[in-house]
């Protein structure tokens, strides 16, 4: 697991080294999935580590919906442990 602390400069080599080691990538980002830092990292990994990947890059992000004010709906829209667990099962071909 890599915790990105800054996006400028983005430590791409650390990300690529992790992908070369595990052959998989799951990006978890609380932003919307379109035009986010998480989607850009997924793009970079797909472009620069394609030959090392054994599964597609999975992006776990907030739902592509306006953020609701209701707390229960807000929790449903954000990334959760279940969504991350499902992404892990997806890249391991266990689903």
Measure Cα distances from 4 to 1, 41, 54, 63, 72 in Å.
Answer: 10, 10, 23, 21, 28
Nearest of 92, 35, 42, 83 to residue 60 by alpha carbon: 83
Nearest of 16, 20, 78 to residue 41 by alpha carbon: 16
- Which CATH number fits the domain 12-91, given the four candidates 3.30.2130.10, 3.10.20.30, 2.40.70.10, 3.40.50.920? 3.40.50.920
Residues 8-46 pLDDT 10s: 999 999 999 999 999 999 999 999 999 999 999 999 999
Give this prediction's pTM.
0.90
Domain segments of the chain: what residues? 12-91
């Amino acid at each position: 697991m890599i915790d990105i602390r800054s996006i400028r400069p983005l430590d791409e080599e650390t990300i690529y080294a992790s992908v070369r080691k595990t052959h998989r990538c799951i990006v978890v980002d609380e932003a919307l999935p379109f035009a986010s830092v998480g989607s850009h990292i997924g793009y970079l990994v797909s472009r620069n580590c394609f030959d090392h990947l054994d599964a597609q890059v999975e992006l776990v992000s907030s739902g592509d919906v306006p953020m609701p004010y209701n707390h229960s709906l807000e929790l449903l829209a954000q990334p959760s442990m279940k969504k991350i667990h499902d992404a892990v099962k997806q890249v391991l071909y266990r689903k």
